[in-house]
Each structure stands twice: as C-alpha cells, then as structure tokens.
Amino acid sequence: MCGIVGYVGKKRAAPLLLGALKKLEYRGYDSAGIAVLCGGLAVRKCAGEVSNLRSTASMEGTCGIGHTRWATHGGPTERNAHPHVWKRFAVVHNGIIENYQSLRAECEARGEEFYSETDSEVVAHLMEFYYAGDLLGALKETCARLKGSYALAVLCSERPGTIALARYKSPLVVGVGGGVWCASDIPAIAAKDRALYPLADGEFALLGDGAQFYGREGRIEKQPVGRDMSESIPLKRGYRHFMRKEIDEIPAVLAKCRPCALVSASFPGVRDGLAASSHITVVACGTAYHAGLAARCAFETLARVPCTVTVASEYRYADPVIGEGETVIAVSQSGETADTIAAAELARGCGARTVAVVNVTDSTLAGLCDDALPVSAGREIAVAATKSFNAQLMVLYTLAATLAEAKGRRGYGDLLKEMPELAAQTVSVGEGVRAWVAYFVSASSVYFIGRGADYVAALEGSLKLKEITYLPSEGYPAGELKHGTLALVEEGTPIVAVLTSERLAEKTMNAVHEVYARGARVFLITSLAEYAASKELTGAVVIPQCGEVFSPMLSVIPLQLLAYYVSVARGIDPDKPRNLAKSVTVE
C-alpha cells in the first residue's frame, strides 16, 4: 500500500525523488522520507504528506530512494517513516513481512537495536548481517528469509551510485532513460523516451549506469513494456478537488469504455468462455465488490446464469467449491489489490477460467488472468472511487448483455448505448443534493436503503459517505429495517432511499413510511417522478430512467456528490481521507 521510488543519474536525486513521491501519495500519505548517498547516507523523514519534508537542499547526491507510507505496523509517525537505516544500509519497503517478529528477535539477540515499530526495519538489519561485499547476494539471502510480500529498494554506503531491488507480490517497475529509476507504479516515473521494465515476482535488479535484471538463478534479459503516455498524472484544471472533477468525467468515461468492452467483437475468448459457463463468481473488495453485486443482478436477470459475489479476502480462505465450467471475474481498479490477486490465483489454479476487469492493463491482476478487460476510466486520483466504479459497471453490464445475447435474450446492449448521455443528465440534476448537506454534517448516523439493484447503489452510497466524511453509515435492504435496524432510527436521523424500480416502488415506499413515522429525515433519489412529491420527504432528486438492472450506474452519481459535499462541509479533504489509500497492495 506504500509507494517507493529510486533514482540514479547525473542530476540531484532529492528533488526528483520528491516529485515522484507526490505522484505516489494515493498509495499512502501517513509519513514520508528520502535517503540519498552523498559521502554517506543522508536521510530526511516526516510524519504526514510528502510536502512536510523539509531541509533537503543540502542533499547533493545523485543516487537515492524515497517512500510514502500507509501505516500497517506502527503508527503514522516520523519514527516509523521509511527509509529505515541500520549501519551501512537504507531500505524502503512496500508490503508486509509476516515473520518480522521472529526475525527481529533474532537480530536483537545479536545485540542490534531497533528504532521503529515497523516490520520493514528488519530488512536493513538482515542486509547488514549478510553483506560481505556482494550487494545482490546479500539481498537474495535476505529475501530468502522473508515471508509475506515486498517491493524493496536498498542503498549501501559502500556502493555509491547503486540501488538494489527485489519484488515479491508487490508491484515494482524500473525505468531507463534520463537516469535509471524505480517506482511502485509506472506513472510516477513515466516519461517520453523512457523504457519501462516491470519486475516479476522473485526478480531482482541492480540500478547504476544502467539496469541489470536477475532471477534466482542469475542474470536475465527483459523487454520493455509499452505505455500510453496520455496516462500521466492528471491536473485538477480549475477544480478544487480531484473527486469532484472525476465525477464530472463519468459521462465521457462511459462513452470511452463502452467500445473498449465490446466483448463480442474485441474479446471473443471471453464471449465464448462466458457462453460455456454454468456458473459465474465475482471476487473483489470495497467498491469493486459493490460493482460485483450489481453484476450479479445483471447476469441472473438478463442471462439467467447463476452468479455468486464474494469478498476476495474471504474467498481465498474459504476453501471455495470451484466446479467445471466456472468463470471467475476478478474486479480491481488498480489491478494490484492483494486479496483479489490471491483469489484469482486460487481460482485459476483450481481450473476456473479467470477474467480480470481492471483500470490498469499492465497490472499484476491483468497479467495473471486468462483475459483482461479494460474499464478505461483513466487515472483516478481521489482515494474514493467514483468514475472507476461507473466504468466497472459498464464493462460488467456489457459482459452480462453479451452472455444474454449468446443465450438468445437480445436487446440489452442497446440500452447501454444510452448511458453516457443519461449519466451527463444525472450529474447535472444530482447537484440538487447540495441542499441536503446541512442535515448530514452533524448526524450521529446515516442509513441508505433500497431494493434489488437499488440496494447495491445504497451500499455504495453508504461506503462513499463513510470513506470521506467519517460519519457512521450503513446500507440496508429496505425490507430489512423492521428486522432490527429500525431500532437505530430516531428523531432527525438522515435516511437516503434509492428508488428506480417501478416493480418494487411501493415496497420501498413502505420503508420510507416506517422511518418517517419514527422521526427520520428522508431523502429520495428516484427515476420515478411521482414518488418525489411525497410530503414525507425532506428532499428528492429525480434522475433519468434507464433499464432497471442498469440503474446503479446512474443512481450512484447523486450519492457520490452527496458524500463529496458533506466531506467539504465538514472540513475534510475528500481526495485524501484519513487511514485510507487508493491501492490496497497488502493483505
């Protein structure tokens, strides 16, 4: 979940490292630090964001490493910030060392002192212990002792102008051109005429005058990957926050990702594999899990194929029953979500056909699955997913429509063609939620309700509010309120109801009547205008109508906007909510 960078070249390393780290802060911003080789190891660390780093002007060296942290072991303090130093070595690490306690005890038994609470510090100690003039050899011996996941960049004061790298289950890429670089993610170091070489699990590299790559058995050759340079870090372009900008980009993203996801034309293997599937399983985490729940509605309603949706961290440890003819769809914005990767590996190892739905086509998940479908949402900077969720829905709905067509149930694809224009209308009318903000700012709890596909939108709306406003919030099926949750409703409790299904409208309104009778403030997001006139409502937003099963692609937009405006009203940066990071690369 952390971000690491490294640079070797002819320019001062410190400002280049800081610039690259700013591009990686979506991976964590609890603390930051850099180490530069300039006669010895010069280190600067800070708690909080990269911009808090001070006094780097005196760091004149041209070789260094940097780190921006999402805390796992030890609090978000300067003491726990990377790089970690022990004698001749400085180390930055992304991942988790699961056996660090036993390794630390071993080091302490030798009389070595530790200064942090982190798991990562043991790597510096092991490097010092194993080093006998062979930097790569020491790194290989160190990694052989580690259990868990890691992307490592190591400096040694006796090896000026050299960075040693290792990767296992955490992303790491090398860039050659204008110096030699490494980073957790390509956009941090991407540049015109710079060749990019992602490391695979179990690979090592030495960076100096160039880049040398190694497997466990010796030197290997690698080929650079292509990269669309339009995928560079975007600018706010007049917006106060990236999240608001990214919500406005949803219509354009839907228009772009739809042709990319034309499965029947572009990915015939996926189409044929789906058509032969007797069961579909979706594995995902967080917002992507909610996209999977929406996909289940579509697969079962449109194609009449049973679909199960499982949180990836549960799937990998549940000893799942994977039958013949099963397709497992793994959904992840970054393609680096550790639990989702492990779940896909498990499914493929058991004989399932695996399909990745990802926003990063050169990600780990995309590479390990049988097929990878791009959602084409572009770079999403805000931690809370918005446009990537809508794009995931477009791809998953396209899969469902394609499967339905293969089974003789036609016409659903035509409904998807209308969605970009309907999304543009929804962004416009969704601004009406700004009038609701005062009722949410100081709420002790908030509840979102819906039925069927509307329940999925309610879950995602609740997650967005929790993520960026820190208000306690839950999403519930509207029919479940009277089975316990109604006890939590009191005078003034904000409740958001989502209603787009004519078939279920009166059932959802029954729940509205129940909570209103208990003193709740009820807010309605609906595509059925006649229900927006109810006197029981404190506020209502009417969105365009679309195919019922596809409705979350639209109804979630006002919910995203509501979370954004409440976050801003509470004085919170919606782009960087506390304790969260964009890419969850640890278990």
CA atoms of 585 and 76, how far apart (whole Å): 18
**How high is the pLDDT of residue 229?**
41
Indicate the burial class of 349 (C-beta count within 10 angstroms; 0-12, 13-18, 19 or more). exposed
Whole-model pTM: value is 0.84
Sheet strands side by side (includes 84-86): 84-86, 89-97, 148-156, 163-168, 204-207, 211-215, 218-220
C-alpha distances in angstroms, 558 versus 244, 432, 534, 566, 576? Answer: 12, 8, 19, 12, 20
CA atoms of 171 and 186, how far apart (whole Å): 10
C-alpha distances in angstroms, 208 versus 10, 25, 159? Answer: 11, 26, 10
Tell me the CATH number for domain 428-574: 3.40.50.10490
**In this structure, what DSSP letter does residue 169 have?**
B
Q: What is the mean pLDDT of each run of 10 residues along the chain (587 residues)?
A: 92 94 86 92 92 82 93 88 96 94 96 95 97 96 95 96 95 95 90 90 95 92 70 77 96 76 58 84 96 97 94 90 89 91 93 92 88 90 94 94 85 86 96 97 96 97 97 93 85 96 92 93 97 95 95 98 98 91 63
Is 160 in a helix, a strand, or coil? coil
Work out the end-to-end distance of the chain between its first and last CA atoms, rounded to an integer number of angstroms: 9
Long-range CB contact pairs, 436-440, < 8 A, 24+: 436/494, 436/523, 436/538, 436/539, 436/562, 437/562, 437/565, 437/566, 437/569, 438/569, 439/492, 439/494, 439/521, 439/523, 439/538, 439/539, 440/465, 440/469, 440/471, 440/494, 440/562, 440/566, 440/569
How large is the greatest C-alpha to C-alpha distance in the chain, in angstroms? Answer: 79
CA atoms of 498 and 558, how far apart (whole Å): 10
**How high is the pLDDT of residue 232?**
58
Tokens of 390: 């809508």
Give catalytic residues, as residue numbers: 2, 582
CA atoms of 449 and 516, how far apart (whole Å): 13
Contact partners, residue 549, CB within 8 Å, separation at least 6: 297, 298, 301, 302, 397, 400, 453
CA atoms of 149 and 446, how far apart (whole Å): 37
Instruction: Let me know if the fold of 234-417 is the same as that of 428-574.
Output: yes
- Hey, which bits of 192-242 come out as E strands? 195-198, 204-207, 211-215, 218-220
For the chain, give every domain's residue range.
Answer: 3-224, 234-417, 428-574
Secondary structure in 3-state letters for 492-534? CCEEEEEECCCCCHHHHHHHHHHHHHCCCEEEEEECCHHHHHC
**How high is the pLDDT of residue 190?**
86
Domain covering 3-224, topology: Glutamine Phosphoribosylpyrophosphate, subunit 1, domain 1 (3.60.20)
CATH class of 234-417: alpha beta
CA atoms of 191 and 513, how far apart (whole Å): 58
Q: Which amino acid is it at 361?
A: T
Tokens of 57: 């002007």
What are the DSSP calls for 293-341, one per residue? HHHHHHIIIII---EEEEEHHHHTTS-----TTEEEEEEESSS--HHHH
Strands 446-450 and 473-477, sheet pairing: parallel
- 550-577 residue pLDDT tens: 999 999 999 999 999 999 999 999 999 9
Sign of the torsion formed by the C-alpha atoms of 250, 255, 256 and 262: positive
**How high is the pLDDT of residue 122?**
97
**How high is the pLDDT of residue 259?**
42
- Torsion angle of alpha carbons 211, 217, 223, 226, nearest 10°? -90
Tokens of 320: 């799942």
